[in-house]
Chains A and B, each alone.
Chain A
Amino acid sequence: MPAPPPLFLDPDLARFITGGVSINAGSGSAEGLPSLCLAFGCRVDSGTNRLTLFFAAPQAVDLVRDATRSGALAVVFSEPSTHRTLQIKGGDARLAPLGEGDLACVEAYRAAFAQCLVFLGFTEVMVRTLLDCPDEALVALTFTPSALFNVTPGAQAGAPLIPTPPRAPGAA
């Protein structure tokens, strides 16, 4: 099956998924057993348009195994204060070494997510504990977005998001 064309993330979406949102990624085994892991941040490579997600390796054993086997990855990004929720799927997930700036990206994510949840009444120490992981135990999965869905709760949930520029040829 030919790979679907990559989707372009507009600046608003890119800002959203790299901000203080909760991030969970899923994949599945060959037998159809779903896997799941909480991510510790997301980076968008503006050149390749690929997304990179960070995980604590001991927590992500099943996810990494499944995602690297099939390439299939689904990631939800949700802003707790507004429930705005986006799901991005891809078919070419693979492990990537952590690059320069990635540790800073994870640390920035911890601060942003903690700030968001403290606003909702959680303690910062609780959020920091949840996102705690030694630097050396972080792993990264990278993939090209091939489908985007608005999954904010409500009647419109599940609607595919057609990103603006560049439009697919012939799109209405």
Chain B
Amino acid sequence: MIPVRALRDCLDGIIPGVVSTCAADGTPNVAYMSQGQYLDDQHLALSYQFFNRTRQNLLANPRVTLGLIHPQTAQQYRLHLVYERTETHGPVFESMKAKLAGIASHTGMSGVFRLLGSDIYRIEGSEGVPGSTLPAPTPAVDPLLALRTCMARLPLSPDAESLLDALLDGLQAHFAIEHALVMMLDPGRGQLYTVASRGYPTSGVGSELPVGDGVIGVAARERVPIRISHVTSEYAYGLAMREGAERQGLGDRLETEIPFPGLAAPGSQLAVPIPGAHDPLGVLFVESPTEMRFTHADEDALVALATQVGGLFRLFLAELELGEEGQPASAREPRPDGVPLRVRHYAANDSVFLGDDYLIKGVAGNILWTLLQDHQALGRTQFSNRELRADPRVRLPDQSDNLEARLVLLHRRLAERRACVQLEKTGRGRFRLLVARPLELEDMDPGT
């Protein structure tokens, strides 16, 4: 049998596969195939782009011989396949559609290559074709060793925020991945929001993306990793988001949009869902200006890392449900002096402005507003994640909400803005509100 690693390399579309079929009367037909996808030991999917002779033959005689060439070693393979069905939606289809858009753009075939379906085939047999070959190149990074090193560090993280730092630092140090970010899912609003990033001029923490948009949004919606070796504008969410907003006349609302931090001209991208109990918790996204930067092995490693991150996240949430660390008694902190800062809250989207500066919106905005109200009215500075979860003013979408991630977002935004309000961790599931100057809270549209 053909090794899985070689099969996956061959199916990436660098060298098109060749499909041989026979009509009912035995007349042969040979066609090129843009892209394939390994599914499991017994199945693969090939792109269905045109209703052509191959298609007619398949419907009459489902047997196919697929010729593949390894793009590095020149080893040829032949696979004997039997057509089973065509999928026109779902994870396999969406992943192939995103990849095909990249291949089409790279080869000047945008607008011509369009995925009509993913043809699913059963692998009946395979063979290596005798001939000369080259040695496989040694990758610069050994993904398995890099994975092991990264995975060893992640469970040492005491909380969600340091877990995300360990993940992104590990990708940089061990995988030489310089541009990466993590977005978390806000299931109530169908949005993903950035909680951590590396390698961009601005962190983009707090920037949002609708589920279903771009590589990241499709990966979240379909719960499938998407790896693109030639990035196209179709899936370049940063640009698409801006253009979309302008088309819909939302330009004036962009004052509360934090710019997405992605590369202006990415060559390769890989988005991997971080699994949750039901919905994904979020998406790990990496990119590079270089085309064909990320391999199948990188994808495997990042899927493993994302699985571990998802598990640890859920562990943090479960621990918070079980109990809290004892809270040290704290003296009531003195009120700050100075010129008061006006803090506005707009209930329509729970956005919060410090002075004239937009800070944050959504659930994280509500959390901050709740903390500030209690600080103002009761002089409170000590809070716990658990009480916030139960506080009706926070209006969490549901009990399983990833409150930890929202606090990471809030903490980072406050720190980045060097705001006069900061959050400081005081123990597992506990934190302190630091307020450096007097505040005037103003609810702009209360009661809505």
Residues in A whose Cβ lies below 8 Å from that of B426: none
Query: In the complex, A78→B32 CA distance in Å?
Result: 9
Q: A36-B65, A83-B107, A83-B109 are in contact. Are A74 and B28 (CB under 8 A)?
A: yes
8 A Cβ contacts from B8-42 to A:
18, 20-22, 26-32
Structural contact, A34 and B72, CB atoms closer than 8 A = no
B78 near A157: Cβ-Cβ < 8 Å: no
A78 to B18, CA, bound (A): 11
Q: Quote the shortest CB–CB distance from A90 to chain B (angstroms).
A: 10
- Render A13-29 as a binary contact track against B, CB cut-off 8 A, 1 for contact: 00000000000111110
Q: How far is the CB of A36 from chain B (nearest CB, A)?
A: 4
Q: Are B27 and A24 in contact (CB under 8 A)?
A: no
Contact assessment for B30 and A56 in the assembled complex, using a CB-CB cutoff below 8 Å? no
- Number of chain B residues whose Cβ lies closer than 8 Å to a Cβ of chain A: 39
CB contact under 8 A between A59 and B131, given known A32-B61, A129-B74, A151-B52? yes
Contact (A154, B112) CB under 8 Å given A24-B67, A78-B32, A125-B134: yes
Total of A-B residue pairs, C-beta within 8 Å: 116
Q: Once the chains bind, are A133 and B131 in contact (CB under 8 Å)?
A: yes
| Residue B144 is within 8 A (CB to CB) of chain A in the complex | no
Q: Which of A37, A125, A153 contacts B112 (CB 8 A)?
A: A153
Q: Which of A26, A30, A132 has the most CB of B within 10 A?
A: A26
What is the CB-to-nearest-CB distance from A69 to chain B, in angstroms, rounded to a whole number? 10
Is B80 in contact with chain A by the CB < 8 A criterion? yes
State A149–B56 Cα separation when bound (angstroms). Answer: 15
Q: Is A33 an interface residue (CB 8 A)?
A: yes
Question: Min CB distance, A112 to chain B, in Å?
Answer: 17
Q: Across the interface, which residues of A come within 8 angstroms of B134, CB to CB? A: 125-126, 129
Q: Knowing A72-B27, A85-B32, A89-B27 touch, does A126 contact B74 (C-beta < 8 A)? A: yes
Residues of A within 8 A of B63 (CB): 32-34
A80 to B79, CA, bound (A): 23
In this assembly, does B76 line the interface, its C-beta being within 8 Å of a C-beta of chain A?
yes
Q: Is B130 an interface residue (CB 8 A)?
A: yes
Find out whether the CB atom of B28 lies under 8 angstroms from the CB atom of A27.
yes
Cross-chain contact B112 with A36 (CB below 8 angstroms): no
Is B348 in contact with chain A by the CB < 8 A criterion? no
Q: In the assembled complex, how far is the CB of residue B377 from the closest CB belonging to chain A, in whole angstroms?
A: 66
Contact with B along A100-113 (1 / 0, CB 8 A): 00000000000000
Interface size class for chain A? 35 or more
| A130 CB contacts on chain B under 8 angstroms | 69, 74, 76, 131-132
A38 interface contact, C-beta 8 A: yes
Decide: A38 and B30 in contact? CB cutoff 8 A.
Answer: no
Given A34-B20, A129-B133, A153-B112, also A74-B29 (CB < 8 A): yes
**Chain B residues positioned under 8 Å from A157 (CB to CB):** 50, 52
Task: Find out whether the CB atom of A36 lies under 8 angstroms from the CB atom of B67.
Answer: yes
**A residues near B237, Cβ cutoff 8 Å:** none
Q: How far is A34 from B65 in the complex, measured between Cα atoms in Å?
A: 6
Q: Is the CB of A25 within 8 A of B112?
A: no
Task: State A72–B30 Cα separation when bound (angstroms).
Answer: 12
Residue B113 CB within 8 A of the other chain: yes
Chain B residues with CB below 8 A from A78, complex form: 32
Q: Cβ of B131 and Cβ of A132 under 8 Å apart? A: yes
Give every chain A residue within 8 A of B130 (Cβ-Cβ). Answer: 56, 58-59
CB-based contact A158/B53 at 8 Å: yes
In angstroms, how far is the closest chain A Cβ from the Cβ of B365?
Answer: 48
- Do the beta carbons of A58 and B26 come within 8 Å of each other? no
Write the nearest CB–CB distance from B292 to chain A, whole angstroms.
10
Report Cα–Cα, A153/B63, bound state, in Å: 23
| Contact present for A26 and B133 (CB under 8 Å) | no
Check: B370 CB closer than 8 A to any chain A CB: no
Partner pick for A126 among B27, B32, B66, B72, CB 8 A cutoff: B72
Q: Closest 4 interchain pairs by CB?
A: A26-B20, A28-B22, A132-B132, A36-B20
Q: Which B residues form the contact surface with A (CB < 8 A)? A: 18, 20-22, 26-32, 49-50, 52-53, 61, 63-67, 69, 71-72, 74, 76, 78, 80, 107-109, 112-113, 129-134
What are 20 pairs between A and B in contact, CB < 8 Å? Answer: A26-B28, A28-B20, A28-B28, A34-B65, A36-B65, A38-B18, A58-B130, A72-B27, A73-B28, A74-B20, A74-B30, A75-B30, A78-B32, A87-B29, A126-B71, A129-B134, A133-B131, A153-B50, A153-B109, A158-B52
